[in-house]
Copies of this chain bind each other. A is one copy, B any other.
């Protein structure tokens, strides 16, 4: 099992890197020309938005709140997005984009089903740990998305589930896992991953580190899907 640090070394998920990608994607909307300026201000805007929206909801966050807390003026904000909704979509798009990319980075995904399952659980938990406010935002505001974006969020959810189901099926064939229904089992595993970011406060209050949580989720899951009385650790 890898550590959070190792995960972070593999993926640059700094605010700067993330905003760089947002800038690329939304060149059409963002009217600021100089990348350095744009990335810096986007960072301030998105950081503040995540903070305010996760505290009281995106809709309840007014753009005047956002100007005060970000230090940018009303007019300045509107050179970075053309509507409040676009701001929402920038964040959502980045979350689903990064999730897809990280969880399907072919070079990283182990071939062995049991290892792959462990890797998926670990990677998902670390990813949501590092981008915590982003994932909370996507989860909480999902219902308010316009139709197409809500579909995007659903698709992203089903992607993870599908990857887990794939590992379970493969493991079933090798005899490493014993289970009836891979899709259903994957659907039961997914909420364990989401709980890490949705109830993060509770887990933190109990002194749980991301590494602890990864270990616990892997153990719980492997007992639920593993062979009865495994002879040795690796199988």
Chain A positions within 8 Å of B, measured between CB atoms, are: 54-57, 59-60, 140, 143-144, 154, 157-158, 181, 183-185, 187-188, 190-192, 194-195, 198-199, 202-203, 206, 208, 216-217, 220-221, 223-225, 228-229
A185 touches B143 (CB 8 A): no
CB distance from A141 to the nearest CB of B (A): 8
In the complex, the count of this chain's copies comes to 2
A140 cross-chain contacts in B, Cβ below 8 A: 140, 143
- Report 16 cross-chain contacts, Cβ distance below 8 Å, ordered by A residue: A55-B143, A57-B57, A59-B60, A60-B144, A158-B202, A183-B206, A187-B203, A188-B192, A188-B216, A188-B220, A191-B195, A192-B192, A221-B224, A223-B224, A223-B225, A229-B229
Q: Using Cβ atoms and an 8 Å threshold, which residues of chain B touch A191?
A: 191-192, 194-195, 198-199
Using CB atoms, name the residue of chain B closest to A216: B184
Q: How many angstroms between the C-alpha atoms of A143 and B59 in the bound complex? A: 13
Q: How far is the CA of A170 from the CA of B54 in the complex (A)?
A: 38
Question: Which of A144, A181, A188, A216: most chain B CB closer than 10 A?
Answer: A188
Enumerate chain B residues within 8 angstroms of A144, measured Cβ to Cβ: 56-57, 60
Minimum C-beta distance from A28 to chain B (A): 27
A184 to B194 Cα, complex, angstroms? 15
Instruction: Report A12 CB to chain B, min CB distance, Å.
Output: 30
A229 proximity list for chain B (CB < 8 A): 228-229
Taking a contact as CB atoms under 8 Å apart, the answer to whether B57 and A143 are in contact is yes
**A192→B186 CA distance, assembly (Å):** 11
Please give, as numbers and ranges, the residues of chain B lying within 8 Å of A158 by CB-CB distance: 202
The distance from the CB of A157 to the nearest CB of chain B, in whole angstroms, is 8
Q: CA of A143 to CA of B133 in the docked complex: distance in angstroms?
A: 14
Question: What's the nearest-Cβ distance from chain B to residue A200, in Å?
Answer: 12
User: Are B55 and A57 in contact, CB atoms less than 8 angstroms apart?
Assistant: no
- A187–B188 Cα distance when bound, in Å, is 14
